Amino acid sequence: MTTVSDQPSQHFRTIWISDLHLGTQGCQAAYLLDFLRHTESDHLYLVGDIIDGWALKRTWYWNQEHNDVVQKILRKARKGTQVVYIAGNHDEAVRQFIGLAFGGIDIQDELIHTMADGRRFLVLHGDLFDGVIQCARWLAIVGDHAYTITLKLNRWFNHIRGKLGLPYWSLSQFLKHKVKKAVSFVSQFEEAVAREAKTRGLDGVICGHIHKAEMREIDGVLYCNDGDWVESLTALVETIEGELKIIRWQLANHQPSPKTDLPAEQMDVFIA
């Protein structure tokens, strides 16, 4: 009988993860650490909001699991994985170090990744295409506070659901899909980021920022969002052959979970 710890690692050509929000109680560090322990890749892109500087300025929160995540990423870099840290808005302080490397990790604002099949993708966090971040920073900070409160309510709510034997249900994801303005914002963001990639003559774009895992074609450009590690527990991966898919991590067996809030067409679908 094979135990969980005996599960072999999955090897990918490339892995993209973003919006870890280390330094917050919302970060699902246990799932993330499990993911990092049971996956290997030639390239690992940290696509922004890795450490939540906004939250740490308000209240210091950093437990051993958060430290273990950082150590695991550094260990991967030492063992030969090409690790690139792309700055986001919550870790914008990192932008002052663009072009430098620390512990074998390169700091970038954006870059172009070439797939195994030759396709070229723009990789960036995406906050520069968020009008709220650029034009009304105070409103973004207020929204961040509201999101933190929603996550606290969500933990309390799911604690009760767990006692009743009910599965996890995301309040914030529900609100994002139901509030028309939120849906409109997400759509506008996706279109703006895809348009930037098309303007540069690229085949696609890979980003984070909005915490909504997605993979779809927009005006001839493949738009990919790797989701987050606060609620969706998702990553974007490129196989050795150059195929892309979004996976949601399941702690129990280290495999992409068939139980997901993502639409079926976005889950475990390879894009040629």
Q: Which of 48-57, 140-149, 197-206 has the lowest mean pLDDT?
A: 140-149
The highest-confidence range among 40-49, 147-156, 263-272, by mean pLDDT, is 40-49
Is there a domain that residue 1 lies in?
A: no
**Above 80 in pLDDT, residue 171?**
no
Per-residue confidence (pLDDT) for residue 257, from 0 to 100: 47
At residue 193, the 3 state secondary structure works out as helix
How many separate domains does the chain show?
1
Taking residues 16-29, report their average pLDDT: 94
Average pLDDT, the chain: 81
**Above 90 in pLDDT, residue 29?**
yes
Report CA torsion sign: 118, 114, 212, 71: positive
Residue type, 146: A
Report CA 7 to chain centroid distance, whole Å: 24
Is there a domain that residue 210 lies in?
A: yes
Give the integer Cα–Cα distance in Å for 51 and 78. 20
- pLDDT tens-digit series, residues 107-140: 999 999 999 999 999 999 998 887 444 443 433 4
Is there a domain that residue 17 lies in?
A: yes
Give the integer Cα–Cα distance in Å for 110 and 256. 28
Query: Tell me, what CATH number does 33's domain have?
Result: 3.60.21.10
| Closest-CA residue to 18 (of 190, 246, 182, 244) | 246
Residue ranges making up the domain that contains 225: 12-266
At residue 157, the 3 state secondary structure works out as helix
Is there a domain that residue 79 lies in?
A: yes
Is there a domain that residue 272 lies in?
A: no
Is there a domain that residue 4 lies in?
A: no
Q: Which of 85-99, 131-145, 168-182, 197-211 has the lowest mean pLDDT?
A: 131-145
Per-residue confidence (pLDDT) for residue 66, from 0 to 100: 98
Per-residue confidence (pLDDT) for residue 193, from 0 to 100: 94
Helix %, strand %, coil % for the chain, to 5? 40, 25, 35
At residue 57, the 3 state secondary structure works out as helix
Taking residues 155-170, report their average pLDDT: 67
Taking residues 193-222, report their average pLDDT: 96
Per-residue confidence (pLDDT) for residue 149, from 0 to 100: 60
Give the integer Cα–Cα distance in Å for 192 and 122. 13
**Above 90 in pLDDT, residue 161?**
no
Strand 39-47 and strand 10-17: the pairing is parallel
CA atoms within 13 Å, Cβ hemisphere of 67: 4
- pLDDT tens-digit series, residues 61-114: 999 999 999 999 999 999 999 999 999 999 999 999 999 999 999 999 999 999
**Above 50 in pLDDT, residue 3?**
no
Is there a domain that residue 271 lies in?
A: no
- pLDDT tens-digit series, residues 219-240: 999 999 999 999 889 999 999 9
**Above 70 in pLDDT, residue 255?**
no
**Above 50 in pLDDT, residue 169?**
yes
